[in-house]
Amino acid sequence: MTLTGKQKNYLRGLAQTKKPIFQVGKEGVTPILVHNISEYLLKHELIKIVLLETCPQDVIATSEIVEAQGIAVVQVIGRKMVLYQRNPKLEHQIVLPR
């Protein structure tokens, strides 16, 4: 999923007040973690995660793994990532600017 700069800016604004929901630790990005993130995104569409110092993957490798699952990486700041995945079945979905 590709997002325009305007859409990313809008999502960054929404994510600014959110706290990280998931922490990626010493086991790194596992299939269970990716599944849990996908399940959370089905209900909320936007999530913030943080990579701990003990994570074996760096932020770039983690973002590639996440993007391979069809999840858009909106922003990466330090060890924090903002992720977005659209859910058309959600009643109160995020309306992105064009």
Report the CATH fold assignment for 5-84.
Translation Initiation Factor IF3 (3.30.110)
Only one residue has tokens 């770039």, namely: 60
pTM listed for this prediction: 0.92
Residue 87 DSSP SS3: coil
**pLDDT attached to residue 35:** 94
**pLDDT attached to residue 47:** 96
Regions in the chain scoring below 70 on pLDDT: none
**What span, in angstroms and rounded, lies between the C-alpha atoms of 35 and 12?**
23
**pLDDT attached to residue 67:** 93
Residue 18 DSSP SS3: coil
**pLDDT attached to residue 98:** 86
